[in-house]
Amino acid sequence: MENSTSHEIAEHGSLEVPSLIKYISSNEVAGFDSTETATELQFLGPSDKQEIQKDEEKGQGDESVAVNHQRKISISISMPLSPEEVQSHNNGETSLGDGIPNSSSQSNTEGSKPPRQAKCYSQPMPKGHVYPEDTEGRVNFGQNPHINRLKDNRFDPFKTFSGRLERQLSIFRGKPPKQAPAKQENNINNTDRPLTVDRYFDALEGPELETLRASEEAVLPQNERWPFLLRFPISSFGICLGVSSQAILWKTLATSPSTEFLHISLEVNLVLWIISIALVASIFTMYLLKIIIYFEAVRREYYHPIRVNFFFAPWIALLFLALGVPPSLTKYLHHALWYILMVPIFFLELKIYGQWMSGGQRRLSKVANPSNHLSVVGNFVGALLGASMGLKEGPIFFFAVGLAHYTVLFVTLYQRLPTNETLPKELHPVFFLFVAAPSVASMAWARIQDSFDYGSRIAYFIALFLYFSLAVRVNFFRGFKFSLAWWAYTFPMTGAAIATIRYSNQVTNIVTKVLCVILSLISTLTVTALLVSTVLHAFVLKDLFPNDIAIAISDRRRKPHKNRWFPLRHGSSEHSKVIENFLKFSNTEGDGDLEAALKQPSNPFEQH
Amino acid sequence: MASCEIELVIDTSTTNPTVVTDTGHDDNDAHSDESLMMMIAKRSLILSLNSILTKLHAGYFRISLSLGGQALLWKTFTEPADHDTAGILGHVGNIFHPTAFLVLWSFSLFVLVLLSILYLLRCLFYFKMVKAEFLHHVGVNYLFAPWISWLLLLQSAPGLAPETLPYLVLWWVFSVPVVLLDVKIYGQWFTKGKRFLSTGANPTSQLSVIGNLVGARAAAHMGWRESAVCLFSLGMVHYLVLFVTLYQRLSGGDRLPVLLRPVFFLFFAAPGVASLAWESIVGGFDTASKMLFFLSLFLFTSLICRPMLFRRSMRRFNVAWWAYSFPVTVLAIAATEYAYEVKGMIANSLTLILSALSVLVSFALTLFTLLNSKMLLPDNDPIASLLLHLPVSH
């Protein structure tokens, strides 16, 4: 006992011991309450904590566990994790002791922050304790009544201001806050340290950087369904792109002189346009909700090297809506609308292109991938819309900027630099984005020059060539898992079809007309197939919005030896034994407790 | 200087033994005092000249580049040839009094002549250092700077019409070195093993492109359309390659010392000059010129929205700060031409803002230079320090 206490004093060097002992004997808390951990650790400097952690990591299993137990109230099970790992607390409430690691690891990372920001993330809190926060009664034994709240708080780091906003809102609504206002500013990614792009490359793989590598761990539990908004990626705006571009296609088919022989009515355009409006409105609303409630998740999507390009998609979708507006509704759109629509694109561009030029970790040679075309296509679509509205200088501005950056991107992607980690080794539907920029550019130039002149034709033929070279390789597009982002890859096909129709207006002969029909058919069929697929996944397979692993990657790579101590994620039986032992001994009175507690738990581990 | 003086004393004592022996002679004393003073003065002059020559590298021509650009801007305002001066721009032109323009042009000429003479001396006495500059991936590009400055002054010369013979002769004198440098450097890009573009590309490489384009503009003003187009295409083709390479940033941006960050402004100088060159070739500010101008404008906006990029280079004054002025001036000139073509409120206000900015920047830089004249030739200049490790012949 003396040893243990002095040991503890030596280790902690603080006045915590008395309260610790008191705490153990008072049995106020059921289960391993590591609020103390938080408490103690907060008084320690980060180096101390680290030292403790290191000690614990290096020590042998039994003793450390015993030591853990004794100050279990201190650090105990948290040890296996590296001090910086904060996310551990978010993992598997299903397994025991996760709460503890949370606190310690969090407190470590929070060491620099004022102590009150703590950790007590999932610890049950005794009343009237020094740290009165957190009475959420999170008992990490997987007891059902708490599971809902468990889930709630697991996702809090992803929420705006880590859940504070939500609580404020619920207070405003008149409901009493569910829990005592917990100081949960334990963002898993301390907001002052955004994820580097290398982290995304290390942790994720796949052509869309969506799948977690085997060696990585996600911050959120993968075997549970996350809240819907958290699963709603920015690539959902691809649906808007796909459908609204179809509206434009059917409008062009109905109004172009060269396709009059098809006798297509404008009704189709009207119906599609209304559907697009509905889709755009609903997806905008949902994503807006996500921004309000889960801002942290949105930030992580923004830092994702591929998802960032999809931030252009909402604005391009709005531009498509303006392009596809049925003639029966309005003939002329106000010029101010164009300026309003282009402002977000302009600012996004300044940021992204500037990063390409000057950013060290996000420079183009490193992050170039076919989705970058989405960043460039916006310029051409804006130029097309502006020119159709009758503006002159603005469209030329965006066309020039788009052309310059498209050249850079095109060369970079064609080079397939060895330093480039994001290019998929195999063909993937994302490659169809290659067709988007030249086809829209050709249409935009034709509008600016008022005729489909040589510049437009050059761009159009480039688009056509790329389309064919991908279409003949359609066999290589097999074997990919359906994802919502595929919708975004349909609009280039539609764009190529529309460009062909415009070209056939200028050069009218049987070849171009046949080409019009074929390309339109392909595009419509693809969209229909995709629609069926989407409906299937949504209602039958119910996995249209799978857990968005890409945003849940951890800050750091886990240390590999963590599993030596506790297979935390999987609720091992040793764990429960440890807890049991603690519980047994926590009930007894007197000094003998600690020693007993020290000695006893070593046994289960000796056995293993 | 103390050691020098000692040397001098010994020197004079050995050369003028009469001073030692004849202490009583006043005449001799006075005479030897004067000659002593003169010798001291001469020596100190030579020494300071030596120190200047060792430290002066081609990067100092940024000053003459900026001043030449300013002169061209003022000329565009005061003598808008074949543009109607109605409207706001006409009024602004009246602000720039012709005499002020003349003073500015003379000052630029003076600075350029001074720098040219000094650099010529450096070539003569310290050729090894010049050669080292030539072999350095940043220094080599500044060898274009003198010729660009001369071409700019030629274009902005008051009273020298482009159709006259002196103009023609001078154009040849200044353009031939540009072409020769082109052949050498561009050829190196794709042939020589050690100096590939992918490893050596940095924002200052755009100076070679600018050189070609300025030459093209001057030729177009003379009426020599074919040479203009030739130089223009040469510049643009290499600009395309360079633009892509620089944007990719293959080497991760460690090719440029932090102190040289101001040269990032060259990113929007090149399209600006290209737009002006194309305008003079075609005769009007057509769509291609507009597109180049807009690209330049966009890159300008992008760079000024990133002040953190330049923070570390702004701590101490150094001659690299002069790299800010020329690109802004070029953009202002292009904006002026744009505004003449597209008369409108936005275009006019853009011109005014950019011109004001350009004048302000140049003025501020001149002020800074005069205040920190000691720091103009520092001991640890980024480029010079890279060259000093090479053996120097005195």
Concatenating the DSSP letter of every residue in B298-348 gives: HHHHHHHT-THHHHGGGSS--GGGGGGHHHHHHHHHHHHHHHHHS-SHHHH
Helix (H, G, I), strand (E, B) or coil at B257: coil
- Greatest mean pLDDT among A198-212, A253-267, B206-220, B374-388 lies in B206-220
Q: Does B236 touch chain A (CB under 8 A)?
A: no
| Contact (CB<8Å) B291/A360 | no
Spatial neighbors of B125 by CB under 8 A, at least 6 apart, are B53, B394
Cross-chain CB nearest to B248 (options A358, A401, A412): A412
Q: Does B307 touch chain A (CB under 8 A)?
A: no
pLDDT given at position A365: 77
Long-range pairs, B301-308, Cβ under 8 A, ≥24: B301/A350, B302/A350, B302/A353, B302/A354, B302/A357, B303/A354, B303/B264, B303/B265, B303/B267, B303/B268, B305/A350, B305/A354, B306/A354, B306/A358
Better pLDDT: A444 or A185: A444
Q: Using alpha carbons, select from B77, B138, B58, B82 the residue that is nearest to residue B329.
A: B77
| Contact (CB<8Å) B290/A396 | yes
Q: How far apart are CA A536 and CA A541, in angstroms?
A: 6
CA distances from A530 to A62, A434, A490, A523 (A): 57, 19, 9, 11
Helix (H, G, I), strand (E, B) or coil at A218: strand
Q: How far apart are CA A349 and CA A332, in angstroms?
A: 28
Mutate which: B243, B298, B342, vs A, most A CBs within 10 A = B298
pLDDT in tens, A11-48: 444 444 454 454 444 444 454 544 444 444 444 444 44
Q: Using alpha carbons, select from A138, A498, A192, A155 the residue that is nearest to residue A320.
A: A498
| A262 in Cβ contact with A517 (< 8 Å) | yes
Better pLDDT: B256 or A449: A449
pLDDT given at position A217: 75
Better pLDDT: B267 or B372: B267
pLDDT given at position B29: 64
Query: Chain A: residue nearest B271 by CA?
Result: A404
- Number of CB atoms found within 10 A of residue A25's CB: 16
Query: Chain B: residue nearest A352 by CA?
Result: B302
Q: How far apart are CA B376 and CA B56, in angstroms?
A: 9
Q: What percent of chain A has pLDDT over 90?
A: 29
Q: How far apart are CA B351 and CA B367, in angstroms?
A: 24
Phi (first) and psi of residue A530, to 5 degrees: -65, -35
Residues shown for chain B: 394
CA distances from A458 to A443, A453, A503, B370 (A): 11, 9, 11, 54
pLDDT in tens, B298-314: 999 999 998 888 888 88
State how far residue B256 is from chain A, nearest Cα, in angstroms. 12
Phi (first) and psi of residue A265, to 5 degrees: -90, 160
In chain B, which residues have their Cβ closer than 8 Å to the Cβ of A350? 298, 301-302, 305
Give the lowest-confidence range in A407-411, A444-448, A559-563, B326-330.
A559-563
Name the DSSP letter for residue A558.
Answer: P
Mutate which: B246, B249, B285, B303, vs A, most A CBs within 10 A = B249
Query: Chain B: residue nearest A346 by CA?
Result: B298
pLDDT given at position A249: 94
Query: What is the dihedral sign for C-alpha B374, B378, B382, B386?
Result: positive
Cross-chain CB nearest to A364 (options B247, B292, B297): B247
Under the banding of pLDDT at 50, 70 and 90, the label for residue B94 is low
Q: How far apart are CA B336 and CA B346, in angstroms?
A: 12
Q: Does B249 touch chain A (CB under 8 A)?
A: yes
Query: Chain A: residue nearest B292 by CA?
Result: A400
Spatial neighbors of B358 by CB under 8 A, at least 6 apart, are B69, B70, B73, B325, B328, B329, B331, B332
Query: Chain B: residue nearest A395 by CA?
Result: B291
pLDDT given at position B246: 86
State how far residue B313 is from chain A, nearest Cα, in angstroms. 15
| Contact (CB<8Å) B305/A397 | no
Under the banding of pLDDT at 50, 70 and 90, the label for residue A407 is very high
**A-contacting residues in B 196-235 (Cβ below 8 Å):** none
Q: Does B24 touch chain A (CB under 8 A)?
A: no
| Contact (CB<8Å) B291/A403 | yes
Cross-chain CB nearest to A353 (options B243, B250, B302): B302
pLDDT given at position A560: 54
Residue B206 belongs to what H/E stretch? Answer: helix B206-222
Under the banding of pLDDT at 50, 70 and 90, the label for residue B233 is very high
Q: How far apart are CA B93 and CA B350, in angstroms?
A: 15
Which pTM was predicted? 0.72
| Contact (CB<8Å) B290/A363 | no
Report which residue type is found at A86.
Answer: V
pLDDT given at position A331: 79
Q: How far apart are CA B200 and CA B203, in angstroms?
A: 10
Count of pairs with CB atoms under 8 A, one residue in A, one in B: 75
The two structure tokens encoding residue A131: 């740290």
Q: Using alpha carbons, select from A158, A163, A201 the residue that is nearest to residue A552.
A: A158
Query: What is the dihedral sign for C-alpha A427, A428, A432, A437?
Result: negative
pLDDT given at position A429: 78
Q: What percent of chain B has pLDDT over 70?
A: 81
In chain A, which residues have their Cβ closer than 8 Å to the Cβ of B202? none
State how far residue A289 is from chain B, nearest Cα, in angstroms. 30
Better pLDDT: A563 or B304: B304
Under the banding of pLDDT at 50, 70 and 90, the label for residue B354 is very high
| Contact (CB<8Å) A397/B247 | no
Q: Which residue has the tokens 């060369």?
A: A411
Better pLDDT: A57 or B139: B139
Cross-chain CB nearest to B291 (options A365, A396, A411): A396
- Interface residues of chain A, partner chain B, Cβ below 8 Å: 350, 353-354, 356-358, 360, 363-365, 368, 393, 396-397, 399-401, 403-405, 407-408, 411-412, 417, 419, 448-449
Q: What percent of chain A has pLDDT over 70?
A: 57
Find the mean pLDDT for residues B357-365.
Answer: 93
Q: Using alpha carbons, select from A74, A77, A97 the residue that is nearest to residue A9.
A: A74
| Contact (CB<8Å) A363/B294 | no
| B42 in Cβ contact with B303 (< 8 Å) | no
pLDDT given at position B180: 92
Find the mean pLDDT for residues A408-427.
Answer: 74
pLDDT given at position B391: 40
Q: Using alpha carbons, select from A133, A122, A135, A124 the residue that is nearest to residue A93.
A: A122
Give the lowest-confidence range in A155-169, A238-252, A367-381, A443-457.
A155-169
DSSP H stretches of helix in A33-175: 35-43, 46-58, 61-70, 99-109, 144-154, 164-172
pLDDT given at position A472: 85
State how far residue B322 is from chain A, nearest Cα, in angstroms. 21
In chain A, which residues have their Cβ closer than 8 Å to the Cβ of B249? 356-357, 363-365
Report which residue type is found at A210.
Answer: E
Under the banding of pLDDT at 50, 70 and 90, the label for residue A573 is low
pLDDT in tens, A44-98: 444 444 444 444 444 444 444 444 444 444 444 444 444 444 444 444 434 443 3
- Number of CB atoms found within 10 A of residue A109's CB: 24
Mutate which: B197, B243, B247, B295, vs A, most A CBs within 10 A = B247
Mutate which: B264, B265, B294, vs A, most A CBs within 10 A = B294
CA distances from A462 to A403, B151, B257 (A): 14, 40, 40
pLDDT given at position A240: 92
Find the mean pLDDT for residues B20-49.
Answer: 73
Whether the pLDDT of residue B202 is over 70: the answer is: yes
In chain B, which residues have their Cβ closer than 8 Å to the Cβ of A405? 247
Query: Chain A: residue nearest B254 by CA?
Result: A360
**A-contacting residues in B 337-356 (Cβ below 8 Å):** 342, 346
Name the DSSP letter for residue A536.
Answer: I
pLDDT in tens, B241-294: 899 888 887 655 556 788 888 888 999 999 999 999 999 999 989 999 999 999
Spatial neighbors of B99 by CB under 8 A, at least 6 apart, are none
Query: Chain B: residue nearest A415 by CA?
Result: B248
| A157 in Cβ contact with A296 (< 8 Å) | yes
Whether the pLDDT of residue A520 is over 50: the answer is: yes
Whether the pLDDT of residue A270 is over 90: the answer is: yes
Cross-chain CB nearest to B298 (options A365, A368, A401): A401
The two structure tokens encoding residue B390: 């090479």
The two structure tokens encoding residue A103: 């606190």
In chain B, which residues have their Cβ closer than 8 Å to the Cβ of A454? none
pLDDT given at position A418: 64
| Contact (CB<8Å) A400/B267 | no
As a 3-state breakdown, chain B gives helix, strand, coil percent values, each rounded to 5, of: 80, 0, 20
| A538 in Cβ contact with A236 (< 8 Å) | no
The two structure tokens encoding residue A390: 């009758």
Better pLDDT: B277 or A332: B277
State how far residue B323 is from chain A, nearest Cα, in angstroms. 17
Q: How far apart are CA B168 and CA B162, in angstroms?
A: 7
Mutate which: A197, A352, A358, vs B, most B CBs within 10 A = A358
Whether the pLDDT of residue A186 is over 50: the answer is: no
Which residue(s) pair with A218 in the sheet?
A: A553
Mutate which: A357, A412, A448, vs B, most B CBs within 10 A = A357
Q: What is the mean pLDDT of chain A?
A: 71
Whether the pLDDT of residue B54 is over 90: the answer is: no
| Contact (CB<8Å) A397/B306 | no
Q: How far apart are CA B87 and CA B339, in angstroms?
A: 10
